[in-house]
Structure 1
Amino acid sequence: MTATAPAAASAIAAYDAIVLAGGRGSRLGGIDKTALTIDGTSLAARAVGAVSGARAVAYVSSAPAPRWVLAERRIRVAAEDPPWSGPVAAIAAGLEGLADRPQPFTVVLAGDLVGAAPAVQLLLARVARTVDGVVGVDPDGFSQPLLAVYRTTALRGAVAEVLAMPGASQVGGRGASMGAVLARLRLRGVALRGSWCADVDTPADAARHGIVLPIGEVRRVRVA
């Protein structure tokens, strides 16, 4: 059965969101992936737009945030400590940035997703208060923990436990895995369309979505 975005309203009245925009883009020559554009809109702007109903958005990146992010009142800028510490540390930073008035649920969203808006809508409609969250599942059956809605208190507790593990704390969170976080939560999977889960990790991904890479990277890819 093909997943379709629901016409019904969200199952929850209010939520926060964390947009993880800090990937190194190593397979794209180290460029800022979230600055890449589709039809004139950056991937970062697409991600923030996908959570337009959020009370507040934590924009987490080890790189400087774009000016438009700094100008939006509902966006709080945060960064992993130390930089480039991975998604668990980034989520922890995002939760801290939203700690003043946290909502019961938090959307966690990778910043390089191409078309996540309908996925977020569907996930919000499928949230069940009997579990700790709902996680997107791609057509190949893989869970997408960075395309999910979590109960905020449960996510905070799981992240704190994982970051307190010796293997993680010794390297500032770099040893922490999202798998360890998920293992501590009661989650329900929600099937998503492939286009809703698509991200940009490689030059081939960029080409598939009509993204023009910086000229130096384009030349390098053509030679390869």
Structure 2
Amino acid sequence: MGRSHAWGDELRPAELSRSTLKDSTEALIRRALLSGAMRPGEIYSANALAARLGVSNSPAREAMMSLANKGLLELVRNRGFRVVELTDSDKQEVYDLRRLIEVEAVRRVAAAGVTAEQAAQLRALTERTVEAADADGLLEYLEADQRFHVTLVDMLGNSRWTAIVENLRDQSRINGSYRLQERGLVRSSAAEHRGIAEAVVAGDPELAAQRMVRHLDYARP
């Protein structure tokens, strides 16, 4: 399972008109951050990045500013943007917050109960993560993993809670910081989603919380 550090076609928009240019560009840059194509310590100008992605300067800069506000990039005055490199202390802070917020979200979803439609959605997303892990595509797995977790939290019906979890997860994953691939944990991480989903569907909040705590262990600094 290899991690690409190149700007391949997979990081380019198939059709930017499907959404706003800014949002589409932000999604592309985020994928580059997750894949490791953009590396800590290097300065990226909005103009150069816009040319590489085939968009104008304005949406590229807006997208980079948005990612800077989310803690994924940092502004370097008069030069551009740099990928944030998390210290061990930063990683611990993110992990601690995820333990508090994400675990409690799963506990509440399980306690409230899910509909048959939501149960089917969780199971489908679970199997998608397993398929992505088996296909040896790390970036595809990370995206499927994100959809599973964000969808689960979103079942609380609290958009702010969802946004916080989504942002914390991205902060912990930029530049391959999970090291799932190197540690041989991609497939086992994907398989754990089944246990979490089934505990939620069964309406067992404590079991769901316990399984989520165990699942988050791979993100422990």
TM-score where L is the length of structure 1: 0.30
Greater helix percent: which structure?
2
Greater strand percent: which structure?
1
Greater Rg over alpha carbons, structure: 2
